[in-house]
């Protein structure tokens, strides 16, 4: 309806004065006309003039009109459907043993949207500008045609992120109709942020909480790796719904062996308890563990009663066993070097007395202990990483067959070092022993042991880049460091080196010389031979020369680490694993390969494979990188679980080394593990955003109307347009005045006044 | 030169002429011919006082060492000055004396400090046996300069040096001034051990094989303790706290409780 208004700046009293003036003027005009015309004609002319004055006076008030126009709008509505795995769970509680017998949560949503004579989706499309999305970890556009095929396959739910993104795309004046069970990866409820949403959320909760029964193992706090011989703790929670009053057993298995069990009394509903179990691994490598609770009657999800995980057991310290033929300065300073290194655990036996030595006191006045031959060689040797035979011969102490155990120890991955002396190499009877093939040198059978000639160590070509003999990082500095070391005075001569010669003993100041330090490999293990018992001189004599003992300490420690196959001393190294370590996301591996002398092996052949959680194998293609000796490979895991990458490198057909590394792939949360719907979360979001929460079972025609009414308040479905018209400024006013004045003029002319 | 030293030298000269002189440095023990020498007993030669009160003390100890243990040792001692170039070739040093001696030079102090800090061992033996006088007074003065922030302190009866070979319950020597040893701790080791009981006197034997000095009041048992202690200290120097390793502890405890 039009409304009139006046815009004149004149005050009302001025208009009255002008009005009275007009009336006075008309009165005088009437008296003048009455003198010449009849009363009727006079009044006719006065009325016409009065109307003209009236219109002008009306225009003087600057009259305006407001014209209104109502326009109907199609409002925007965003429908968002949760398609995560949890929506594939049964909509109502019931025993897990009868799968597929009841509609799932997503079935219920589809039914609600698509069923009936006039499906809800069609009605919404008719009444609203409709946008459709599905979500799990990401928000994705979908269509009405795709809804019947929608599957609950998303491996996670980022509910809050999806709602926030949908509201951003919808813009103000819109609303979100959300179908979800409320299960999300976020532990914290996002209600603090919900009011900041620009649109209200009408959340339709799917899934029944009443009668929901489930028991699950959750919130595992498991270290990726543990140390051999050290207790490792596994923390986790047991959560239960609908099982109050029951007592259930919990089993903790290492592989297939039961190592612990607990009895858990569920004394409340909902129930949650935090538990901790521990285990001390004795072997290095991947260890599989299982936590399980028998499935209880009525449980919604059976799978979450069991959790499997792997722990990579590593050595915390390198365990070194030394056998010394007698007390010596070599032992003294070897011990110093090893004992001062916190990453090395040293057990040493020094034979203080030979069988021919006699004592003048009873045995119980001596501190000597019997050498536990059987215990060491038959049981404990495998628990060591490195065995050092320091001027030690087995001849006087035990049968040669025990050396077979040492050979097996090296073949299986152990490290063996033999240090020179009169009881070592040939002189110790090792040429014909099982260690003859293990050592990196071939003995000449002459028991050659030289003493008295001063010899200096010279780096052999293979020693220049080898990690054992790298005293300084730069090549020149390293060679200089070796030149500065004190001379040695003893040497065990060997026929030749089978492995790599790292150092030569030179008496003439030249570059050649007899082998002094050699390294090699045997089976999975490594061996090292140092053909002198003067190693200590590189420590204490250097100190006397006001040099540092560091070169001796470094050589000993690097030798031990190389023998123990520390990752940094392996020829095939798996570097950092890049990527998010989530199913469906690419990961990249970096592998470095070195030759025997530890120069980069850029032309090596690298074989890679990943072993999945169920033992499935995935061969990977290794790509050589411009960086020498570096290879990369890509892998996309399909599912969660513990994986292992295995790398093997060969050069000209010869094996350089093998290595492996465990890694786990998992989403940051446990979709499908906890199936209990979270209506309370949906309600919080809906309420805080100005929307409403409606359980799907309660959704009906009234819900739709209620949503429309709520939406009407914040975003009306029609708008009113208003126009302002200035009446005096229209042609109609001009023609009216012209008509009145024209009529008056015509009558005056007719009645003879003009 | 003291009258006693003069008579000693005279007797050496006479015995040398008769072929009965004790083996000197460089003389070979039967076992030395085929084996290198792992151990050399090096004795510090210092200025002033009497650095050599028992010139024949070392050989009996070395013979004892080789007879009882697997250590291959040089039969006689090696005399060394603190600033000698080859000092660090002998990680075991022995210093003894009776009287006050001249203060060490700064170079000698620094060399000894370096020697003892980086793995060397020094056995000090007071041949006079008078705490606060003579050798004892000078030695303590010098140790104060070598390790200003450390004290010579009494070693516990369970110290590794007393268990490195024999399980020792008493400290021998020609006289029992103190029934214990003193030492200086550096890190986890004891690179300086000091005996007040004149160990060298108990070890010494004349060229005819007779003991030079009587051991009082314990007699031959006390002498035997001195030899045992000498052996233990040499093995301690070569193995450090080896006998404190966990593997030895239960055995040693068991034997000590018998």
Give per-residue pLDDT as tens, A665-676: 876 555 667 788
Q: Nearest CB to B167: which of A327, A367, A541?
A: A367
Looking at per-residue pLDDT, the higher value among A674 and B33 belongs to A674
Lowest-pLDDT range, B15-19, B176-180, B222-226, B251-255? B15-19
Domains identified in chain A and CATH numbers: 3-70+724-750 (no CATH), 75-211+675-714 (3.40.50.410), 214-314 (2.60.40.10), 319-563 (3.40.50.880), 573-665 (2.60.40.1930)
Q: What's the average model confidence in pLDDT over A442-448?
A: 83
Q: Does B165 contact A366 at a Cβ distance shorter than 8 Å? A: yes
Q: What's the average model confidence in pLDDT over B137-163?
A: 95
Average pLDDT, chain B: 86
Q: Does A539 contact B70 at a Cβ distance shorter than 8 Å? A: no
Kindly tell me if the per-residue pLDDT of B230 is higher than 90: yes
Distance separating alpha carbons of residues B76 and B59, to the nearest angstrom: 5
Average pLDDT, chain A: 87
ipTM for the complex shown: 0.87
Q: pLDDT for A327-349, tens place per residue? A: 999 999 999 999 988 888 899 99
* Nearest chain B CA: its distance from A367 CA (Å): 5
Q: pLDDT for A42-101, tens place per residue? A: 999 999 999 999 988 888 888 888 887 887 777 889 999 999 888 888 887 765 545 556
Q: Please give the pLDDT value at position A101.
A: 64
Q: What's the average model confidence in pLDDT over A717-729?
A: 78
Q: What's the average model confidence in pLDDT over A407-415?
A: 95
Q: What's the average model confidence in pLDDT over A415-429?
A: 93
Three-state SS annotation for chain B: CCHHHHHHHHHHHHHHHHCCCCCCCCCCCHHHCCCCCCECCEEECCCCCCCCCCCCCHHHHHHHHHHHCCCCECCCCEEECCCCCCHHHCCEEEEEECCCCCCCCHHHHHHHHHHHHCCCEEEEEECCCCCCCHHHHHHHHHHHHHCCCCCCEECCCCCHHHCCCECCCCCCCCECCCCCCEEEEECCEEEEEEECCCHHHHHCECCCCCECCCCECCHHHHHHHHHHHHHHHHHHHHHCCHHHCCCCHHHHHHHHCC
Q: Chain A residue with minimal CA distance to B168? A: A365
Q: Nearest CB to A357: which of B38, B68, B258?
A: B68
Q: What's the average model confidence in pLDDT over A127-131?
A: 88
Chain A partners within 8 Å of B237 (Cβ)? 332
A487 contact partners, CB below 8 Å, separation of at least 6: A454, A455, A456, A537
Tell me, yes or no, if A448 comes closer than 8 A to chain B by beta carbon. Answer: no
Q: Nearest CB to A541: which of B88, B167, B255?
A: B88
Q: Does B255 contact A451 at a Cβ distance shorter than 8 Å? A: no
Q: Nearest CB to B248: which of A329, A369, A490?
A: A369
Q: pLDDT for A562-577, tens place per residue? A: 999 887 778 888 887 8
Q: Does B88 contact A543 at a Cβ distance shorter than 8 Å? A: yes
As given in the structure block, the two tokens for residue A47 are 């009325």
Q: Please give the pLDDT value at position A192.
A: 59
Residue with tokens 């059987």: A374
Chain B partners within 8 Å of A393 (Cβ)? none
- What percent of chain A stands above pLDDT 70? 96
* Nearest chain B CA: its distance from A326 CA (Å): 5
Taking CA atoms, A636 is separated from A152, A578, A674, B57, in Å, by 22, 11, 26, 78
Looking at per-residue pLDDT, the higher value among A583 and A535 belongs to A535
Strand order in the sheet with A232-241: A214-221, A232-241, A271-279
Q: What's the average model confidence in pLDDT over A710-731?
A: 78
Count of A-B CB contacts under 8 Å: 122
pTM of this prediction?
0.64
Q: Nearest CB to A361: which of B119, B166, B239?
A: B166
Task: Compute the Cα dihedral for A492, A497, A500, A502 and give only its sign.
Answer: positive
Q: Please give the pLDDT value at position B15.
A: 33
Chain B partners within 8 Å of A486 (Cβ)? none
Q: pLDDT for A176-186, tens place per residue? A: 999 999 888 75
Q: Please give the pLDDT value at position B3.
A: 42
Q: What's the average model confidence in pLDDT over A517-522?
A: 95
Q: Please give the pLDDT value at position A25.
A: 92
Kindly tell me if the per-residue pLDDT of B253 is higher than 80: no
Kindly tell me if the per-residue pLDDT of A401 is higher than 60: yes
Contact criterion met (CB below 8 Å) for A66 and A3: yes
Chain A partners within 8 Å of B240 (Cβ)? 332, 335-336
* Nearest chain A CA: its distance from B86 CA (Å): 8
Q: Does A549 contact B119 at a Cβ distance shorter than 8 Å? A: yes
Looking at per-residue pLDDT, the higher value among B9 and A744 belongs to A744
Domains identified in chain B and CATH numbers: 23-256 (3.40.50.12140)
Chain A partners within 8 Å of B247 (Cβ)? 347, 349, 369
Q: What's the average model confidence in pLDDT over A397-401?
A: 86
Q: Please give the pLDDT value at position A298.
A: 83
Q: What's the average model confidence in pLDDT over A321-332?
A: 95
Q: Please give the pLDDT value at position A219.
A: 84
Q: What's the average model confidence in pLDDT over A502-531?
A: 90
Lowest-pLDDT range, A141-145, A668-672, B250-254? A668-672
Q: Does B70 contact A353 at a Cβ distance shorter than 8 Å? A: yes
Chain B partners within 8 Å of A354 (Cβ)? 70
Q: Please give the pLDDT value at position A672.
A: 62
Q: What's the average model confidence in pLDDT over B124-135?
A: 96
pLDDT band at A635 (very low <50, low <70, confident <90, very high): very high
* Nearest chain A CA: its distance from B248 CA (Å): 7
Chain A partners within 8 Å of B120 (Cβ)? 540
Q: pLDDT for A227-252, tens place per residue? A: 877 889 999 999 999 999 999 999 99
Q: Nearest CB to B255: which of A325, A364, A543?
A: A364
Q: Please give the pLDDT value at position A668.
A: 56
pLDDT band at B1 (very low <50, low <70, confident <90, very high): very low
Q: pLDDT for B90-117, tens place per residue? A: 999 999 999 999 999 999 999 999 999 9
Interface mutation target, options A229, A350, A352, chain B, most CBs of B under 10 Å: A352
pLDDT band at A218 (very low <50, low <70, confident <90, very high): confident
Closest by CA position to B166, among listed A13, A361, A188: A361
Q: pLDDT for B16-27, tens place per residue? A: 333 333 333 333
Q: Please give the pLDDT value at position A171.
A: 79
Chain A partners within 8 Å of B88 (Cβ)? 540-541, 543-545
Q: Does B243 contact A367 at a Cβ distance shorter than 8 Å? A: yes
């Amino acid at each position: 309806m039009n409304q009139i208004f006046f815009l004149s700046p004149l005050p009302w009293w001025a208009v009255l004065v002008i009005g009275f003036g007009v009336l006075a003027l008309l009165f005088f005009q009437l008296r003048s006309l009455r003198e010449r015309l009849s009363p009727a004609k006079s009044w006719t002319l006065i009325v016409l003039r009065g109307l003209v004055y009236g219109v002008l006076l009306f225009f003087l008030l600057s009259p305006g009109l407001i014209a209104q126009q109502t326009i109907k709008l199609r409002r925007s509505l965003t429908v968002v459907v949760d398609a995560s795995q949890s929506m594939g769970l049964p909509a109502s509680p019931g025993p897990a043993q009868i799968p597929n017998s009841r509609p799932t949560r997503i079935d219920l949503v589809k039914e609600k949207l698509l069923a009936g004579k006039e499906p809800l989706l069609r009605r919404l499309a008719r009444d609203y500008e409709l946008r459709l999305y599905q979500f799990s970890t990401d928000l994705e556009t979908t269509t009405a045609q795709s809804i019947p095929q929608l599957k609950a396959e998303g491996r996670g739910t980022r509910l809050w992120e999806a709602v926030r993104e949908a509201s951003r795309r919808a813009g103000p004046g819109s609303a979100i109709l959300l179908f979800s069970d409320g299960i999300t990866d976020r532990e914290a409820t996002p209600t603090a942020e919900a009011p900041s949403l620009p649109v209200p959320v009408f959340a339709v909760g799917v899934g029944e909480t009443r009668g929901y029964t489930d028991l699950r193992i959750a919130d595992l706090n498991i270290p990726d790796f543990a140390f051999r011989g050290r207790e490792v703790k596994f923390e986790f929670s047991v959560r239960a719904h609908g099982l109050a009053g029951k007592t259930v057993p919990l089993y903790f298995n290492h592989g297939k062996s039961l190592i612990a069990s607990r009895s858990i009394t569920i004394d409340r509903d909902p129930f949650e308890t935090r538990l901790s179990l521990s285990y001390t691994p004795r072997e290095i490598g991947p260890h599989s563990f299982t936590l399980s609770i028998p499935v209880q009657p009525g449980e919604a999800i059976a799978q979450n009663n069991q959790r499997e995980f792997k722990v990579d057991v590593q050595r915390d310290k390198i365990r070194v066993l030394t056998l010394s033929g007698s007390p010596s300065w070599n032992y003294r300073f070897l011990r110093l070097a090893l004992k001062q290194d916190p990453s090395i655990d040293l057990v040493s036996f020094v034979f203080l007395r030979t069988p021919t030595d006699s004592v003048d006191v009873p045995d119980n006045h001596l501190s000597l202990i019997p050498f536990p031959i059987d215990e060491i060689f038959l049981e404990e040797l495998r628990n060591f990483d490195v065995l050092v035979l320091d001027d030690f011969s087995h001849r006087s102490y035990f049968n040669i067959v025990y050396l077979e155990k040492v050979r097996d120890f090296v073949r299986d991955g152990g490290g063996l070092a033999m240090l020179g002396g009169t009881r070592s190499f040939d002189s110790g009877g090792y040429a014909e022993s099982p260690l003859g093939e293990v050592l990196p040198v071939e003995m000449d059978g002459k028991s050659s042991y030289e003493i008295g000639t001063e010899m200096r160590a010279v780096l052999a070509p293979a020693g220049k880049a080898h990690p054992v003999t790298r005293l300084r990082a730069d090549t020149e500095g390293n060679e200089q460091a070796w030149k500065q070391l004190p001379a040695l005075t003893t040497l065990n001569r060997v026929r030749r080196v089978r492995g790599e010669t790292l150092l030569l003993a030179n008496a003439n100041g030249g570059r050649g010389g007899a082998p002094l330090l050699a390294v090699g490999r045997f089976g999975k293990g490594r061996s090292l031979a140092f053909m002198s018992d003067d190693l200590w001189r590189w420590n204490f004599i250097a100190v006397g020369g006001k040099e540092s003992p560091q070169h001796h300490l470094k050589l000993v420690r690097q030798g031990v680490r190389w023998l123990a196959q520390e990752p940094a001393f392996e020829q095939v190294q798996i570097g950092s694993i890049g990527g998010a370590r989530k199913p469906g996301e690419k990961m990249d591996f970096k592998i470095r390969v070195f030759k025997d002398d530890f120069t980069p092996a850029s032309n090596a052949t690298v074989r890679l494979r990943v072993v999945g959680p169920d033992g499935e194998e995935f061969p990977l293609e290794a790509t050589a990188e411009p960086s020498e000796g570096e290879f990369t490979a890509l892998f996309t895991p399909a599912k969660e679980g513990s994986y292992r990458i295995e790398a093997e490198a060969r050069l000209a057909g010869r094996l350089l080394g093998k290595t492996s590394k465990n890694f786990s792939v998992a989403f940051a949360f446990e979709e499908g593990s906890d199936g209990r719907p979270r209506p309370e979360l949906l309600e919080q979001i809906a309420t805080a955003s100005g929307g409403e929460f409606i359980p799907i079972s309660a959704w009906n025609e009234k819900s739709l109307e209620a949503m429309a009414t709520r939406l009407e308040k914040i975003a009306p479905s029609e708008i009113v347009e208003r126009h302002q018209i200035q009446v005096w400024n229209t042609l109609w006013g001009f023609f009216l005045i012209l008509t009145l004045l024209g009529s008056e003029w015509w009558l005056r002319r007719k009645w003879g006044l003009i | 030169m003291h009258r006693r030293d003069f008579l000693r030298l005279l007797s050496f000269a006479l015995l040398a002429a008769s072929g009965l002189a004790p083996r000197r440095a460089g003389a070979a023990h039967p076992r030395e011919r085929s084996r290198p020498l792992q151990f050399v007993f090096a004795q510090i030669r210092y200025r002033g006082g009497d650095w050599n009160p028992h010139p024949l003390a070392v050989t009996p100890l070395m013979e004892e060492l080789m007879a009882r243990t697997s250590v291959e040792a040089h039969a006689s001692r090696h005399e060394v000055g603190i600033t000698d170039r080859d000092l660090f070739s002998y990680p075991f040093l022995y210093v003894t004396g009776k009287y006050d001696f001249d203060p060490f030079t700064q170079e000698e102090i620094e060399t000894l400090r370096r020697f003892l800090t980086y793995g060397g061992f020094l056995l000090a033996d007071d041949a006079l046996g008078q705490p606060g006088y003579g050798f004892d007074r000078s030695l303590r003065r010098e140790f104060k300069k070598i390790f200003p922030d450390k004290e010579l302190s009494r070693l516990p009866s369970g110290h590794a040096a007393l268990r490195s070979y024999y399980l020792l319950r008493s400290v021998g020597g020609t006289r029992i001034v103190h029934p214990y040893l003193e030492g200086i701790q550096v890190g986890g080791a004891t690179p300086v051990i000091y005996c007040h009981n004149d160990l060298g006197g108990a070890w010494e034997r004349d060229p005819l094989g007779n003991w030079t000095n009587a051991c009082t009041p314990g007699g031959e048992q006390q002498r035997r303790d001195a030899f045992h202690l000498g052996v233990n200290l040499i093995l301690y120097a070569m193995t450090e706290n080896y006998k404190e390793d966990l593997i030895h502890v239960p055995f040693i405890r068991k034997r000590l409780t018998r």
